[in-house]
Chain A
Amino acid sequence: MQEVMDAAREARDSGVYPDGLEEQLQSDFARQLSRPDPRDRIKHLDGLLEQLSARRMGRAAVETSSAIPGGSAAHRAIGKVVSRQVDGVYQQMNNFTAELVGVLGFMMEGLQDPQAHVHTEMLRELDALQDRVAELQVTIDSLGSTYREATGVMSHLLVHLNSLDGLEARLAALEESERRRGFDPFFEYGRFEDVARGAESDIEVEYSALADQMAGSPGPVLDIGAGRGEFLRLLQERDQECWGLEIDEDLVRDAIDAGIDIRLTDGLEGLREQPLGSLGGIVMLHVVEHLSVNELMELVLLAYDRLAVGGTLVMETPNPQSLYVFARAFWLDPTHSKPVHPVFLDFLVRQAGFSEVRIDWTAPPSEDEQLLDAGHIAEEPASRPEAEPAADRDLREQLAELAAVVSANAERTNDLVFGPQNYRLTARR
């Protein structure tokens, strides 16, 4: 026994069992337990749909046995009498089920589409549909036991069928609004990026220090939302293994032509596909402002799982504490969803388990756009007339006082209005 423990310890010391991997696997399982996957719900619905399509109503499914002597024969005899009406009801039920299965199948497709959001309204509609199916089941049950009130059942069914029309219209409206939410420009987005973010060469200057910092990461660096691949090129130049994810097809094509490894995948999906602890760094430059808050939380948790111990997460995003950002840059990009406050982002990454969280403020507006400083007026003049008249001195002192106030106000206003345009959060796994 001791021998086994010793061998394991030796293997640990020699790095056969990577340091921290065990804890990482345990924390992954804890997360699996506490965070049910929304896809499970879709899987469950899919199962229900399969059941529903397998089910067909027919007279054979109706119970005709009876505990009363001669009861079965009586059931069958009564059944014959009302058979025409009953057959009509079954026909309608089967039609209804077929239509229902079609609608549900259509909804399932929408939910499983990786490009679509799991739309809460769609799920609500599905819940309502399930209720209606349950109601229908009750109707069928009562039909099976009594054969009576066939006309009542018919009118019931008509209500179901009519509500189906309304549902389809509602779904069409939902689809349309979902489509409008997405951004599907008729122009090449890369060209817009040239206008909005500056030429590639400017960006390379802006991020070379970050590239230096990421070079030598304990594994490959993944650039999510890699755009034209400028940052990946900087990493390549520094011999850092790296690749990127991007959802814009044109940008990906250009990057591949330029010899940069970028894959056409959504960031969340692409990250989910990576093995645990396999990445040395994850960089998201101007990505989080494009996400919903749920997507952001999911992304941060996934990033933690997929980074190796010691790996770095970098997220840069517009600084919502600077009003200048809103006047000049933020809404310039129509695909921005909403700004992310640094305090929230800091909290989020710490909650996900990251440590050594740091925020750097980048890209201050140029000084000639900021309010001018009047502070120099308040300064003591270098030379003063020997005999300054008292009135002059008073005036000069009042002026200095006023200048000090104006200067302080300008500083405050500059801080609020002309604060740095971006902030960059760095955190360690």
Chain B
Amino acid sequence: MRIDQVLVGASPGDAVTEAALRTRATLRTAVESGIYAVHVDETLKGEVGDLFADFPRDGDRGDVLIHHVSIGEPAVADFVLRSPGMVVAAYHNITPAHFFEATNPPFADRLRQGRAELAVLADRAIGAVADSTFNASELLAAGFTNVEVAPPPLNLSRLLDARPDTGYADSLAAEGALVLVVGQVLPHKRPELAVEVQHFLNVNHDAAARLVIAGSCRQQRYAEAVTRHVESMRLDSVHLTGPISDARLAALFRRADVLLVPSEHEGFCVPLVEAMLHGVPIVARDYGAIAETAGDAALVLPQDAGAPELAEATARVIEDPELRAAMIERGSRRGEEFIRDATPTAWLEALARVLRGGTAGTSTQPA
């Protein structure tokens, strides 16, 4: 028996790739296990095989194929549907296409394709493991029936053990409060809203506060619009880091006074957990899995909270020492839960429950 994992793309630092690698390390203590992808970054060749060239051809019905789903790719979907073994989807969420319609139509098409593939996969897979109950509800809506929830296996020590580049953090915010946004500069993450919050924060609460948006800018057009937005508002208190090293991100987390999450769609939201473990209070809105991941550790405002509300909450978290202390305390407790639960072992236990709940080739209700 083999348990293999299939990804669309594998690149270093990518959360899905990291989770797959950690899961494989645990799997290999018991069974044969590999990771295969269509697009494999040069640095991972050897670790991750080419799906079409390297996948073992002598598979049988007892094998398990874990299909990591986060975007559409017809070649992968087709491969998975034809494979002889039991298929389990690992669902990391597919961002709704409408966020990208205006700025990147081809990418929006791939996201739509992903949702369509999900519905087909529902018939073929025996079940799925979802990162959050929010993701699970999407799977149920897509036709899955045998769904377990487990947080993705997180590499939390990556930042906690990194030697922080404090000089970098000081160069961005020598003094004053530091509001941190962590995530790629993409439409559904709404970085421009953070910029607007910063405007209100500077004008109405704290002129010295600085905003750092830490994350790569893979869609240049969008990132440029955000930069121009900052320029047109004449804000010199905002900095976009672009791609960032662990040492620098660790320094920013240690220096930050609040993590602002303006995002409108999250399937899990790893930065929440990272903030909790760095003692950084969180201000967010109730979208996707945010409230679920944050637990009681964040100020989660309703969806219709706009820039003024987020600015008000951010200012309060910065200025009110009692509130800060309580949030940091709750965050630390919630963070510990993830250190305990967001592990390959816990994830594989969920996989085992899925396998017990279904039979190959059909989808059934859990026992």
Contacts and interface: CB of A to CB of B under 8 A. Distances in A.
Interface string A12-42: 1000110000100110110011101100100
Contact of B312 (A4, A26, A29, A275): A4
Interface string B211-233: 00000000001101110110011
Given A5-B305, A17-B308, A305-B232, A29 B225 contact: yes
B312 A7 contact: yes
B299 interface: yes
Given A4-B301, A8-B309, A305-B232, A33 B204 contact: no
Contacts of B308: 8, 11-12, 16-17, 22
B204 A16 contact: yes
A5 B302 contact: yes
Interface string A81-93: 0000000000000
Nearest to B204: A16
Nearest to B317: A4
Interface residues of B, number: 30
B367 interface: no
Of B232, B234, B299, B305, chain A has the most CB atoms within 10 Å of the CB of B232
Contact of A1 (B199, B222, B224, B300): B300
A297 interface: no
A276 interface: yes
A37 B226 CA distance: 12
A12 B305 CA distance: 12
A276 B195 CA distance: 14
A352 to B, nearest CB: 16
A40 B223 CA distance: 12
Interface string B300-342: 1110011111011100100000000000000000000000000
Contact of A25 (B103, B228, B307): B307
B131 interface: no
B300 A275 contact: no
Most buried by A among B199, B200, B222, B302: B200
Interface residues of A, number: 23
Contacts, number: 70
B300 A25 contact: no
A25 B299 contact: no
B48 to A, nearest CB: 26
Nearest to A28: B232
B4 interface: no
Contact of A22 (B103, B196, B226): B196
B229 A4 contact: no
B103 A4 contact: no
A29 B192 contact: yes
A33 B232 contact: no
B53 interface: no
A191 B306 CA distance: 54
Given A25-B307, A29-B192, A34-B102, A4 B299 contact: yes
A5 B309 CA distance: 6
A4 B199 CA distance: 18
Given A28-B232, A29-B225, A305-B232, A11 B312 contact: yes
Interface of B: 102-103, 192, 196, 199-200, 204, 221-222, 224-226, 228-229, 232-234, 299-302, 305-309, 311-313, 316
Interface of A: 1, 4-5, 7-8, 11-12, 16-17, 22, 25-26, 28-29, 32-34, 36-37, 40, 275-276, 305
14 contacts: A1-B299, A1-B300, A1-B301, A4-B309, A4-B316, A5-B305, A11-B308, A16-B204, A16-B308, A25-B199, A28-B232, A28-B233, A29-B192, A275-B233
In the complex, the 9 A-B pairs of residues with the closest C-beta atoms, listed nearest first: A8-B312, A8-B309, A32-B225, A17-B308, A33-B225, A4-B313, A32-B228, A29-B192, A25-B196
